[in-house]
Amino acid sequence: MAYKFERLEVWRLALEYADLMYAIAEELPRSEEYNLKSQIVRAATNIALNIAEGSTSQSDAEQARFLGLAIRSLIETVACQHMINRRQYLEDSEPLRDAYRFGEKLFAKPPAFRTSLTTKTGSTIREEPGVYEYDLDPPF
pLDDT of the residue at 97: 97
CATH T-level assignment (fold) for domain 4-121: de novo design (two linked rop proteins) (1.20.1440)
pTM score of the predicted model: 0.81
Q: Which residues of the chain have pLDDT under 50?
A: 123-129
pLDDT of the residue at 61: 83
Query: pLDDT (tens digit, 9 = 90+) per residue, 59-98?
Result: 888 888 899 999 999 999 999 999 999 999 999 999 999 9
Rounded to 10 degrees, the C-alpha dihedral 108/112/115/117 comes to -130
pLDDT of the residue at 58: 72
pLDDT of the residue at 21: 98
